[in-house]
Amino acid sequence: MDRIRITGGKKLNGVIPISGAKNAALPLMIASLLTEDDLTLLNVPRLSDVSNLRRILGNHGVDIMIAGKRNGDDPLSGANVRLSARSISDTTAPYELVSTMRASFWVLGPLLARMGEAKVSLPGGCAIGTRPVDFLLMALERLGAKIDIENGYAVAKAPSGGLKGAEIDFPKVTVGGTHTALMAASLANGTTVIHNAAREPEVVDLADCLVKMGARISGAGTSTIEIKGVPHLRGTHHAVVADRIEAGTYAMCVAMAGGDVVLQGVKTNLLQSAFDVLTEAGVNIEQTNKGVRVSRNGNGLKPVNITTDPFPGFPTDLQAQLMGLVTLADGTSKITETIFENRFMHVAELSRLGAKIHLDGQSATIEGVPKLKGAPVMATDLRASVSLVIAGLAAEGDTTISRVYHLDRGFEQLEAKLAGCGAEIERITG
Q: Decide if 126 is catalytic.
A: yes
Please state the closest distance from residue 104 (CB atom) to ligand EPZ, in A.
10
Q: Which residues bind ligand EPZ (CB under 6 A)?
A: 23, 26, 103, 129, 131-136, 172, 174-177, 316-317, 339-340, 382-383, 410
Structural contact between residues 201 and 241, judged by C-beta atoms closer than 8 angstroms: yes
Q: Note the Cα 254 to chain centre separation in Å.
A: 21
Between CA 427 and CA 14 the distance in angstroms is 21
Please state the closest distance from residue 341 (CB atom) to ligand EPZ, in A.
7
Residue type (1 letter), 62: V
Between CA 91 and CA 190 the distance in angstroms is 24
Fill in the DSSP letter of residue 424.
E
Residue type (1 letter), 190: G
Please state the closest distance from residue 137 (CB atom) to ligand EPZ, in A.
7
User: Which of 259, 309, 382, 46 shows the shortest CA–CA distance to 251?
Assistant: 259
Between CA 320 and CA 31 the distance in angstroms is 30
The helix (run of H) or strand (run of E) holding residue 398 is: strand 398-402
Please state the closest distance from residue 343 (CB atom) to ligand EPZ, in A.
8
Give all strands of the β-sheet with 63-66 in edge-to-edge order: 69-70, 63-66, 79-84, 38-44, 236-239
Active-site annotation holder among 126, 209, 253, 421: 126
- Tell me how crowded residue 80 is: count the other CB atoms within 10 A of its CB: 17
Residue number with the smallest Cβ distance to ligand EPZ = 176
- Tell me how crowded residue 55 is: count the other CB atoms within 10 A of its CB: 14
Give the pairing of strands 92-93 and 79-84: unpaired
Positive or negative, the CA dihedral 156, 159, 161, 163 is negative
Active site residues per annotation: 126
